[in-house]
C-alpha cells in the first residue's frame, strides 16, 4: 500500500512539473492566425466575420493570402511584428484571413490576387475606397506599406464613428 501511494505521489509530482514546463513554453500558434497574430481573435469564415462585424459594430478586415506566396509571407511577417497593427486588430476589428476566395465578388473588385486586404464596415458595406498605394492592385500592401495600412485601419474606424 505504501509503495502504491508513493508511486502515485511521484507520478502526480512528475506530471504537474511537466504540465508547468509545457505551460511556460511559448504557446503554439492559434491555427486561425496562420502567423498573422496569435493574440488576435480570428473568425473562421467570411459569413461569421460579417455576423460579428454587425453584432459588435466593428469593421471586418479580410486578408487574402496564400501559404506559398513570398509577398504574402513578407507582409505577414511585417503585420505580425507591428505592435500598432496587432493592438488595433485585437481590440477594434473583426479579423479574418483567408487562403481561398469568397463567393462575394465585392471582395475582388479589381481581381483575385494576393496579398489583398479589404475592409467591410458594420453595415456590411465593402469599403472599396480604402485602397493601398498601387494602381494596378488597389488592395495590396507590401512590408514597407505598414504605415499606410495602419492609416487605412484608422480610416476604417473613423468611418464607423462618423456614421453613428
Q: Which residues pair with 97 in a beta bridge?
A: 63
From first to last of its 164 residues, the chain has per-residue pLDDT tens of 777 766 666 667 556 555 555 444 444 445 789 999 999 999 999 999 999 999 999 999 999 999 999 999 999 999 999 999 999 999 999 999 999 888 888 999 999 999 999 999 999 999 999 999 999 999 999 999 999 999 999 999 998 887 65
Helix ranges (H only) for 2-145 are: 2-24, 46-56, 70-81, 83-92
DSSP-derived 3-state class of residue 134: coil
Domain ranges of the chain: 46-138+147-157
Cell numbers at 2, concatenated: 505504501
* Pairing state between β 60-64 and 116-120: antiparallel
Note the pTM of the prediction, 2 decimals. 0.80
What does CATH list as the number for 46-138+147-157?
Answer: 3.40.30.10
Amino acid at each position: 500500500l505504501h509503495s502504491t501511494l508513493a508511486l502515485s505521489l511521484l507520478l502526480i509530482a512528475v506530471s504537474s512539473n511537466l504540465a508547468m514546463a509545457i505551460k511556460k513554453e511559448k504557446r503554439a500558434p492559434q491555427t486561425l492566425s496562420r502567423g498573422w497574430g496569435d493574440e488576435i481573435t480570428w473568425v473562421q469564415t467570411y459569413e461569421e466575420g460579417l455576423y460579428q462585424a454587425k453584432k459588435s459594430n466593428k469593421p471586418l478586415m479580410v486578408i487574402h493570402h496564400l501559404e506559398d506566396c513570398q509577398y504574402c509571407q513578407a507582409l505577414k511577417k511585417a503585420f505580425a511584428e507591428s505592435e500598432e497593427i496587432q493592438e488595433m486588430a485585437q481590440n477594434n476589428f473583426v479579423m479574418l484571413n483567408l487562403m481561398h476566395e469568397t463567393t462575394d465578388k465585392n471582395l475582388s473588385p479589381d481581381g483575385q490576387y494576393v496579398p489583398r486586404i479589404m475592409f467591410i464596415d458594420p453595415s456590411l458595406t465593402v469599403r472599396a475606397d480604402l485602397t493601398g498605394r498601387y494602381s494596378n492592385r488597389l488592395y495590396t500592401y507590401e512590408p514597407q506599406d505598414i504605415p499606410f495600412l495602419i492609416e487605412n485601419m484608422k480610416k476604417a474606424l473613423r468611418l464607423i464613428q462618423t456614421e453613428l
